[in-house]
Structure 1
Amino acid sequence: MTINLIAYTSSLDQLASSAQDHQKLLNELEIQFSVKYYKHTDLAKIPKDQFSVLFIATGGVEELIAQDVEELPRPIVLLADGLQNSLAAALEASTWLRERGLKNEILHGDIQQIKERILNLAINFHAQQRLKQQRIGVLGTPAPWVIASSVDYYLAKQRWGIEFVNIPLTRIYDTFDKISEDDVSTLCTHFISKAYACNGSTPTALINSMRFYKAVKQICEEEGLTAVTLNCYKTLKDIGVTGCLANALLNDEGIIAGCEGDMQTIFTLVMIKALTGEVGFMCNPSEVDVKENKIVMGHCSIGTKQTSHFVLRNHFLTKNAISIQGILPLGEFTILKCGGECLDKYFVSSGYILQNTEKELSSRTEVLFKMNEEASYFLRNPLSNHHVMIRGNHEGLIQSFLETYSCKRVR
């Protein structure tokens, strides 16, 4: 990973001698990172999409930092090892910046902790850069029961840099009508060959679901969408097709897809992919055991690449639509949700999948999850019904990232 180190010294001609004085710190940084060195006079030349740290090499640089305030990279991170009165200068500059509403952080002390914090901050920075590139398609309107999962598009853009785009379902239907059975026959054959089994699904349902997948993918390509959320129950009513198969395949291909028009959950899915590289499983609880901190989480679709194997099932509402029953690997997972109309709240808990279950008819993919946080959250203060599960323990990383952007943790 590359980081830019922007040196502040009380005199430009002290830069070389300062580097020698701070050699222990710089050598340690170069072991873990590819370090590019800049003078503070080169600020305008440093790309804004690269992570940078202000290296406070000497005292007497406070005024220089104040003069450069408009050009300082964000987030503002000041590194000082204490030599040549550098820590005192960092403290003074930090206070001046905070008094003007500019959040910043001083890195000082144990070198290993400094390296770990730089890595964490750099991961957060690059995740935020990826979020700014996201264009999320809202296909149709949210399902009528998703009353607590809307997003203020303007506030979301201001906070996260993401863009939500409304696309009418009629446009997808028009594209769907132009796709023939012959257009998807090879795709259907290939997909069936990867399934562990078929249970209740019909050839016609598979063909129509694959046609629908191709239609949604074409819209994504035409609109430059990186993610979509779909009111799949409306499509079932209108054309007899759900988005379960489409969502599964799009997620497999890196186009993040969610259902029911839930905007907060699609953001959660997009955010966690930007932060960890993992594709999440959109799900909701059907049972909560507050005594054992266990929950049953499930939904009617999942990306097939997230599963150990999968079964093609009919949708619980009709035999004429396809659902995906994924069997997930047991072990450590993280459950999370970003909520609020401006996406400024979150819940997160690490835990373990104990068992793949089949308790709720409406859930084709379903698991029993043991939480490390209290499961009573779901009954006392939930961020609506849909949540996201990803493999591995990412609780600390998620907390660090979201709190960097002043999000409030809900428990």
Structure 2
Amino acid sequence: MTINLITFASSLDKHGVIYSSHQTILNELEKYFNLNILSYQDLDKIGKDDFCLLFIATGGVERLITQYFEKLPRPSILLADGMQNSLASALEISAWLHDKGMKNEILHGELQQIIKRIFVLHNNFKAQRALNGMRIGVVGTSAPWLIASNVDYLLAKRRWGIQYTDINLERLQEYYQQISDDEVGAAAAQLAGQALACREASPEDMLKAMRIYRALHRIAQEDKLNALTLSCYKLLETTGTTGCLALSLLNDEGIVAGCEGDLQSVFTMLAARSFTGQSSFMANTSMINTRTNEIILSHCSVGTKQTDRFILRNHFESEQSIAIQGLLPTGDVTVVKCGGECLDEYYVSTGTLTENTNYINMCRTQVRVRLNTSADYFLKHPLGNHHILLQGNNEILINEFMQANGCKRIE
């Protein structure tokens, strides 16, 4: 990991003196990062994908900041160890930048805390850069019951740099019809062989579901999609098959795929992948216990790679096609959801996945999660029905990322 250390000092011609004055902090940084020490005069050499810290090395550099304001990275991270009046200067600079509407913060204090903070900030930076320019395909339309899950495409692009693109469901159906059973037979048999069991569904159902996967995969490649969300129930009406298996396999491949045309949830899944590298489980909130702070999340699709084992079932509501009953590993998890028409609100809570349940009147993959926060959120001010489950404790990463983008946390 490389850090570009943009140095502001009143005597840059004495580079050796500057280094010796701040040797303690620079030596510590060099244990963890590749340092590229540059002058503020080299700001033009910094690319938009280069992670930078503004190293305030001495006092008396406030005017330099004002002169180079337009070239500074946004947000700006100021590093000051206090030597050579550097912290005094950083405080004045920080206040001036805030007055100009630029987000910034000062890194100062215990060296290990500074190192930890740099890792978090670097992760945010990379995630933001990764999201910028990503494309989300909306195949069909959002389900009519998702009345609180709309997204304003233009505002989302302005905030996050992502692009939603509408894709006719007829195109998917056309590609589906072009794929023969023979083309997908081997892949269907291989997947069935990997399953712990196959229940309810027929071999014909399996072949049709695999054809939907191939058709969606083709669209993702042709349109250079990083993510997609599918009008599942409309598809069921026209083809007699659902997208549950297709979405599962796409998520396994790293193409983020969500159900029901839910615009907010697919963005949540895409954002979560950008800062954790993980695939996630999009689910209904099916049961809530506010006394124990437990919830049950359920849906008929989950990436098979997210599971310990999986069972091939039929789709719960329609009793048709292929669904995935995934058995997920127990342990630490994070529940997250981005909401609002311009995706400027979010919920996040850590918890423990304690059990894979098997209620007959719920979607096929079911997990019980004991939250570390109050479950009252779901009953008093939820960000819609669907929420996203990630393995591990990712609260700090998510909270830092969303706060850095000016989002409001809902609790």
TM-score by length of 1: 0.98
1:99-158 superposed Cα distances (whole Å, 9 cap, x missing partner):
111111111111111111111100100011111131000001100001100111111111
In structure 1, C-alpha distance between the alignment counterparts of 2:154 and 2:62, rounded to whole Å: 36
Counterpart of 1:15 in structure 2 is 15
> What is the DSSP-based 3-state SS (H/G/I as helix, E as strand, rest coil) of the residue aligned with 2:343?
coil
* 2:313 is the counterpart of 1:335: no
Instruction: Provide runs of 4+ in structure 1 moved above 3 Å.
Output: 317-320
Q: CA RMSD in A?
A: 0.9
Give the alignment of 1:158-169 within 5 angstroms.
158-169=158-169
Contact 2:12/2:18 (<8 A) preserved: no
Counterpart of 2:296 in structure 1 is 296
Contact 2:74/2:103 (<8 A) preserved: no
The one-letter code matched in structure 1 to 2:232 is C
Counterpart of 2:122 in structure 1 is 122
Cα shift at 1:360 = 4.9
The one-letter code matched in structure 2 to 1:68 is Y
Q: Residues 360, 286 of structure 1: CA spacing in aligned structure 2 closer, same or farther, 3 A cutoff?
A: farther
Counterpart of 2:229 in structure 1 is 229
Point out where structure 1 has 5 or more consecutive residues left out of the alignment.
none
The one-letter code matched in structure 1 to 2:278 is E
Which piece of structure 1 moves more, 207-216 or 394-403?
A: 394-403
In structure 2, C-alpha distance between the alignment counterparts of 1:120 and 1:315, rounded to whole Å: 40
* 2:38 is the counterpart of 1:38: yes
Cα shift at 1:93 = 1.2
In structure 1, C-alpha distance between the alignment counterparts of 2:318 and 2:268, rounded to whole Å: 29
* 2:362 is the counterpart of 1:353: no
> What is the DSSP-based 3-state SS (H/G/I as helix, E as strand, rest coil) of the residue aligned with 1:137?
strand
Contact 1:204/1:320 (<8 A) preserved: no
The one-letter code matched in structure 2 to 1:371 is L
The one-letter code matched in structure 2 to 1:26 is L
Contact 1:231/1:260 (<8 A) preserved: yes
In structure 2, C-alpha distance between the alignment counterparts of 1:45 and 1:70, rounded to whole Å: 14
In structure 2, C-alpha distance between the alignment counterparts of 1:394 and 1:69, rounded to whole Å: 34
The one-letter code matched in structure 2 to 1:359 is Y
Counterpart of 1:390 in structure 2 is 390
Cα shift at 1:184 = 0.5
Contact 2:310/2:327 (<8 A) preserved: yes
Contact 1:7/1:15 (<8 A) preserved: no
Counterpart of 2:170 in structure 1 is 170
Point out where structure 2 has 5 or more consecutive residues left out of the alignment.
none
> What is the DSSP-based 3-state SS (H/G/I as helix, E as strand, rest coil) of the residue aligned with 2:359?
coil
User: What is the number of residues matched between the two proteins?
Assistant: 411
1:363-404 superposed Cα distances (whole Å, 9 cap, x missing partner):
100011101110111100100000000110111221111111
Contact 1:202/1:319 (<8 A) preserved: no
Counterpart of 2:265 in structure 1 is 265
In structure 1, C-alpha distance between the alignment counterparts of 2:67 and 2:238, rounded to whole Å: 61
Q: Residues 360, 287 of structure 1: CA spacing in aligned structure 2 closer, same or farther, 3 A cutoff?
A: farther
In structure 1, C-alpha distance between the alignment counterparts of 2:296 and 2:90, rounded to whole Å: 50
The sequence identity of aligned pairs, in percent, is 52
Counterpart of 1:60 in structure 2 is 60
In structure 1, C-alpha distance between the alignment counterparts of 2:242 and 2:214, rounded to whole Å: 13
Cα shift at 1:59 = 0.9
Cα shift at 1:319 = 4.3
Q: Residues 124, 360 of structure 1: CA spacing in aligned structure 2 closer, same or farther, 3 A cutoff?
A: farther
In structure 2, C-alpha distance between the alignment counterparts of 1:360 and 1:15, rounded to whole Å: 71
Which piece of structure 1 moves more, 317-326 or 189-198?
A: 317-326
Cα shift at 1:27 = 0.3
Counterpart of 2:196 in structure 1 is 196
> What is the DSSP-based 3-state SS (H/G/I as helix, E as strand, rest coil) of the residue aligned with 2:14?
helix
In structure 1, C-alpha distance between the alignment counterparts of 2:375 and 2:321, rounded to whole Å: 33
